[in-house]
Amino acid sequence: MHNNISLMKSIQKPIVIVGAGFAGMTFALNLKNLNPSLPILVVDSKSNFIFKPLMYEVLSKEIRSWEAAPKFADIFSDAGITFLKNCLTKISFKENTLEFSDELKLSYRYLVICTGSLPNSFLAKGVDENCYFFNDFHDLNKLKSFLKKSQKNSIHKKLFIVGGGPSGIELACKIKDIFADQFEINIIEKSNEILNRNKIFNREQAEKALEKRKIKVLLNSTVKEVSENKISISSEVGITSLDKDLVIWTAGVRPNLGYLKTDEITKKFGRILVNNNLRIENYKNCFAIGDISIIEGMEDLPITAQVAMQQGKHLAKNLELLILGNDTLPFEFQDNGEMISLGIGEASISGLGFTLSGKLAFEARRIIYASKLPDIRESLKSAYSWMFQKKSIFKKFLKKNNSN
């Protein structure tokens, strides 16, 4: 691996991609397809890609963990791209160099940063110390072992899920289906409705799914503090302190930008501000895509894999245009709809001119994930095979969906 890197350094500075999640991987694989001769180096601090939307199914054992987390080394070697496992610690934009945790220093010709997001505790007291999160496999395994341990003793344990967005709702339904009466689940949401940035159809289906499972929702409520045994919630009636066994925090994310030590780049809402060509202001050869970035004039785009992948694909085209000396094109988001899982074997889908719920939606969801990942599905053979198990049933449905 290091031989490949020194070879690249001696021939031509590479295009370096830091972060190989949905944005970085889509970018790298698309660029390689468009121009196989470009030297591309992908760096990620982890060894495995995490297919985050499938983490609920790993928790419920509907799929095995390796199926949702294929190895980067396999994905990139199949595609003929050099992969390096390392953690970015510093960028010197003026010198075009990167520094990594093992003191490796690299120069780049073009830089694409896409290091995703971390849970955001909004500095609420006691959250970091006393809550569980659900953002990566480390969080997933920690939660799994807590849930497994508590399976052995008592019922009606008090579980609070903070945040009534997709993650909170999907987790609540899965946990209820796995553990039934072992947990009394409460979702705490600060606004006046759950899924307030999602499609109405999905919201209605989610409300039904929560009601069916007797999951309580506390609206207009904000968490003030979480201690070892208590959770303090502020609402119209004042501050209430309740006993808790477990709190899972899914209330929001913040960009993962610990390696940016200075204010040499402009940020908006904490995320890297890019223009509509996805380029970082003042640095012609640097780009930021996925959760860490925000596009000037398109601040309302959701923070999702769908956006990250579309940006990855678009930037690959733009970089190829740039290298050929042509003008680049502005990014445009195409809303391909949204899907949420609602317990074991159930889901809700809205968009692309149709809505679907229940078991059929669950099966369609896994197929749609694969059909919407045309560029990485060959590499993600494991997740792909899981998603396509029942393809024959959905041939007609897919045909209609793909023609939209």
Ligand X SMILES: Cc1cc2nc3c(=O)[nH]c(=O)nc-3n(C[C@H](O)[C@H](O)[C@H](O)COP(=O)(O)OP(=O)(O)OC[C@H]3O[C@@H](n4cnc5c(N)ncnc54)[C@H](O)[C@@H]3O)c2cc1C
Binding site for ligand X (CB under 6 A): 18-24, 43-46, 52-53, 55, 87-88, 114-116, 134-135, 167, 256, 259, 290-291, 303-306, 308
**Closest distance to ligand X from the beta carbon of 170 (Å):** 7
Q: How far is the CB of 338 from ligand X (least distance, A)?
A: 7
Using the minimum distance from each CB to ligand X, give the nearer residue, 44 or 346.
44
233 or 247: CB nearest ligand X: 247
Tokens of 252: 């929001």
Report the residue number, 58 or 124, with the smaller CB distance to ligand X.
58
Give the SS3 label for residue 30: helix
Nearer to ligand X, 8 or 233 (CB): 8
Q: Minimum CB separation from ligand X for residue 228, in Å? A: 25
Q: How far is the CB of 272 from ligand X (least distance, A)?
A: 11
Give whichever of 106 and 233 is closer to ligand X, judged by the CB atom: 106
| Whether 41 contacts 59, CB under 8 Å | no
Q: Which residue is nearest to ligand X (CB)?
A: 21
Here the tokens at position 107 are 């120069």
Minimal distance, residue 383 CB to ligand X, in Å:
13
Q: How far apart are CA 325 and CA 225, in angstroms?
A: 55
CB of 392 to ligand X, least distance (A): 24
Closer residue to ligand X in complex, CB, 30/232: 30
Q: Pick the closer one to ligand X by CB: 26 or 221.
A: 26
| Minimal distance, residue 326 CB to ligand X, in Å | 26
Q: 243 vs 184, 186, 306, 341, CA distance in Å? A: 12, 12, 38, 29
Q: Please state the closest distance from residue 328 (CB atom) to ligand X, in A.
A: 20
Half-sphere exposure of 108 (CA within 13 A, CB side): 25
d(CA 52, CA 144): 16
Name the packing angle between helices 72-79 and 22-34 (round to 10°).
10
All residues at 6 or more sequence positions from 168 whose CB lies less than 8 Å from its CB, including other chains: 161, 162, 187, 189, 194, 248, 250, 251
Paired tokens of 381: 């053979």
**Of 52 and 176, which CB lies nearer to ligand X in the complex structure?**
52
| H/E stretch holding 217 | strand 216-218
Say if residue 181 is exposed, middle or buried (CB neighbours under 10 Å; 0-12, 13-18, 19+): exposed
> SS3 of 198, please?
coil
